[in-house]
Structure 1
Amino acid sequence: MCAGMLTLQAVVLFLAGLVMTGVTDLGFAASFGIGLGLAVLCLLAAGMLGRRGGYALGWGVQVVSVALGLVVPMMFFLGAVFGALWAASYFLGARIDREKAERAVLEERYRAEHGDAPEAG
């Protein structure tokens, strides 16, 4: 869930960089660079989620997204929205993983006690 959220956020941040060209005094190169850099950072974080530091980088992306509101005020809102979606993905994903692990333990215990697989259904 988190990787999907970061991928979607990469698209939005890239487009935000293009929008910055018209609404700030940064110029095309700086605006495009910021948007592209943040998009690449999102994709890098999405690819690192299985490794050490991947989730910390994902949280960092959320902070930078909100901080981008200092340049483009609408990003305060979009950053907060994506931050909330990221947090929901992070905490719900962890809960789902925990429940799957608990179910695997219970199924193994059932097989040990009954000698066969539980009924599907």
Structure 2
Amino acid sequence: MKRSPKRGMCAAILSLEAITLGLTTPVLLTLTDVSTGVGLAIGLGLAVACVLLAGMLRAEWAYTAGWVVQAAAVLLGFVVPIMFFLGAVFALLWGTAVLLGVKIERERAAAYAALERDGGPEPV
């Protein structure tokens, strides 16, 4: 079974984003008027969602859910203004990982098809 570059890159982005969102939680609790319960639910909830989605990227729907998490991270900027910037950075990284992953998988499939057609050895 071949590893999916798209899944690997997107999982890495979500994992790093989970750390960022987890570290945003104390900021959310101390510098805003958000209650502790709501702040924990938002900050840690998004972080846990990132970790769970990173493990579910075998399913195509998880990529759509990843876009929802990206939007939520940007919208968190209304409460913690720096998240407008950080959310946008992660959304850009997410989009790049998805598009680049699709391109790599398409080129890899074409290379395998060419090798099969020509009877060459299976690529590594």
Question: What TM-score, normalized to structure 1?
Answer: 0.88
Deviations 1:20-55 (A, max 9, x none): 112101133332221110011111221221114110
Shift in CA distance, 94/52, structure 1 to aligned 2, threshold 3 Å: closer
Q: Do 1:17 and 1:33's aligned partners in 2 also have CA atoms closer than 8 Å?
A: no
CA distance in 2, matches of 1:76, 1:41: 19
Aligned residues: 115
Partners of 2:38 and 2:19 in 1: how far apart?
A: 17
Q: Deviations over 1:69-100 (max 9, x none)?
A: 11111100000000000000010011011111
Supply the distance in 1 between the matched residues of 2:22 and 2:107 (Cα, whole angstroms). 35
* Counterpart residue number, 1:29: 37
Structure 1 consecutive aligned stretches of length 4 or more whose deviation exceeds 3 Å: none
RMSD: 1.6
* Bigger relative CO (Cα 8 Å, ≥ 6 apart): 2
2:108 matched to which residue of 1? Answer: 100
Contiguous gaps of at least 5 residues in structure 1: none
- Counterpart residue number, 2:6: none
TM-score, structure 2 as length reference: 0.86
CA distance in 2, matches of 1:86, 1:52: 15
1:85 aligns with: 93
Larger Rg over CA atoms: 1
Structure 2 gap segments, 5+ residues each: 1-8
Identity of aligned residues (%): 46
Could you say which residue in structure 2 is the equivalent of 1:10? Answer: 18
